[in-house]
Amino acid sequence: MREASAEQGLVILVEPLEQSGAREVVRRFFVAVQSESTAELEAVLSSEAVLHAGPGATTQPAVKVWASRFERLDYQELDARRVFREHELELYEPRELAAMTPPRHFVLAPRGSELLAVAHVHEPRVVGAPRRFGARIEFVVERTPEGYRIREVFEDFSLK
């Protein structure tokens, strides 16, 4: 939040966006992945949700990408609470991102009343086992009449 002095005349206060719903939808996303449930994913993703998978990758429907990952990788053995630590989730409003000094680089950019959620993934490393996540996942979370939904996902990850 920025400060302004009364010497500037009029000071406009902006109420911060409510963030608990955004935290909850990201938590439910990781539970859905751990359950390998496309139905649970569809409940937290907007109907047009897309996933960006890093440089050179094409943007694809998020549910389709995760369904493919569920076929090739085992997520059920993971503990969603250890992979995603809710207390480490970073949430940013568009105006907060614009005011950051020095600026931080994120791939996704929320608009209006959307939030950017940044989750740092803590995947246990098992020798010889494939990785199942990128190190960080960005989400654009929007408020809808049905509650918060994830509109866009960025994860620098590819199935090999």
Question: pLDDT digits over 33-57, tens only?
Answer: 999 999 999 999 999 999 998 877 8
DSSP secondary structure string for all residues of 43-94: HHEEEEEEEE-STTPPPEEHHHHHHHHHHHS--TTS-HHHHB-GGG-EEE-H
87: which 2 tokens?
């207390």
Identify which of 124, 154, 152, 149 has the alpha carbon closest to the alpha carbon of residue 136.
Answer: 154
So what CATH class is 16-155? alpha beta
Rounded to two decimals, what is the model's pTM? Answer: 0.86
Q: Which stretches in the chain have pLDDT values below 70? A: 1-17, 160
pLDDT for position 1: 44
Strands 115-120 and 136-144: antiparallel
